[in-house]
Chain A
Amino acid sequence: MIEKDRARFIYQTMNRIRCFEMKAVSLFESNKLRGSVHLYVGEEAVAATVCSQLSEEDYIASTHRGHGHCIAKGATLDGAMAELMGKSTGYCKGRSGSMHIADLSKGNLGANAIVGGGIPIATGAALASKMQNNGRVSVSFFGDGASNEGTFHESLNLAAVWKLPIIFICENNLYGISVPSWQSTSVKDISVRGQAYGIPGITVDGNDVEAIDEAFRTACQRARDGEGPTLIECKTYRWLGHWTGDPQPYRTREEIEEWKQKCPIKRYRTKLIEQGIFTSEELDGIEKEAQAEADRAAEFALNSPEPDPAGLLDDVFYEGGAQV
Chain B
Amino acid sequence: MIKTYAMAVHDVMAEEMRRDERVFIMGEDVETLGGVFGCTRDLYKEFGTERVRNTPISEAGFVGAGIGAACAGMRPIVELMYMDFTFVAMDQILNQAAKTRYIFGGNAKIPLVIRGQQGIGRGNAATHSQSVETFFMHIPGLKVACPSTPADAAGLLRTAIRDDNPVMFFEHKALYAQKGEVPEDIDFTIPFGKADIKREGTDVTIVANLLYVGRALEAAEILSGEGISAEVIDPRTLVPLDMNTITESVKKTGRLVVVHEAHRNAGWGAEIAAQVTEDVFPYLDAAPIRLGTAPCPLPFNLGLENAATPQVADIVKAAKTVLYRI
Task: Give A contacts to B, CB under 8 Å.
Answer: 34-36, 86-87, 92, 94-97, 99-100, 113-117, 145-146, 148-150, 176-179, 183-185, 249-250, 306-307, 309, 312-313, 316
Question: Are A312 and B54 also in contact (CB < 8 A) when A114-B85, A306-B303 are?
Answer: no
Q: Which of A35, A117, A148, A249 contacts B58 (CB 8 A)?
A: A148
In the complex formed, the residue of B with least CB distance to A243 is B36
Complex Cα–Cα for A99 and B129 (A): 12
CB-CB < 8 A to A185: which residues of B?
A: 56
In the complex formed, the residue of B with least CB distance to A249 is B32
B140 an interface residue at 8 Å Cβ cutoff?
no
CB-CB < 8 A to B299: which residues of A?
A: 94-95, 307, 312
Do A307 and B36 touch (CB < 8 A)?
no
In the complex formed, the residue of A with least CB distance to B298 is A95
CB-CB < 8 A to A114: which residues of B?
A: 84-85, 88, 127
Do A316 and B295 touch (CB < 8 A)?
yes
Closest approach, in angstroms, between the C-beta of A84 and any C-beta of chain B?
A: 9
Closest approach, in angstroms, between the C-beta of B181 and any C-beta of chain A?
A: 29
Do A307 and B125 touch (CB < 8 A)?
no
Which A-B residue pairs are the 3 nearest by beta carbons?
A97-B300, A35-B123, A86-B301
SS of B interface (majority): loop
Q: Which of B28, B123, B124, B304 contacts A179 (CB 8 A)?
A: B28
CB-CB < 8 A to B127: which residues of A?
A: 99-100, 113-114, 117
Do B303 and A34 touch (CB < 8 A)?
no
Task: Give B contacts to A, CB under 8 Å.
Answer: 28-29, 31-33, 36, 54-61, 84-85, 88, 122-128, 294-297, 299-304, 306-308
Do B307 and A312 touch (CB < 8 A)?
yes
CB-CB < 8 A to A250: which residues of B?
A: 32-33
Residue from B54, B296, B301 having most chain A Cβ neighbours under 10 A: B301
Closest approach, in angstroms, between the C-beta of A247 and any C-beta of chain B?
A: 8
Do A145 and B125 touch (CB < 8 A)?
no
Do B36 and A36 touch (CB < 8 A)?
no
CB-CB < 8 A to B61: which residues of A?
A: 148, 150
CB-CB < 8 A to B33: which residues of A?
A: 177-178, 249-250
Complex Cα–Cα for A316 and B124 (A): 19
Question: Are A312 and B300 also in contact (CB < 8 A) when A113-B125, A177-B36, A250-B32 are?
Answer: no
CB-CB < 8 A to A316: which residues of B?
A: 295-297
Complex Cα–Cα for A95 and B296 (A): 11
Question: Are A184 and B295 also in contact (CB < 8 A) when A94-B301, A179-B29, A307-B303 are?
Answer: no
Closest approach, in angstroms, between the C-beta of A49 and any C-beta of chain B?
A: 26
CB-CB < 8 A to B56: which residues of A?
A: 145, 148, 176, 179, 184-185
Do A313 and B303 touch (CB < 8 A)?
no
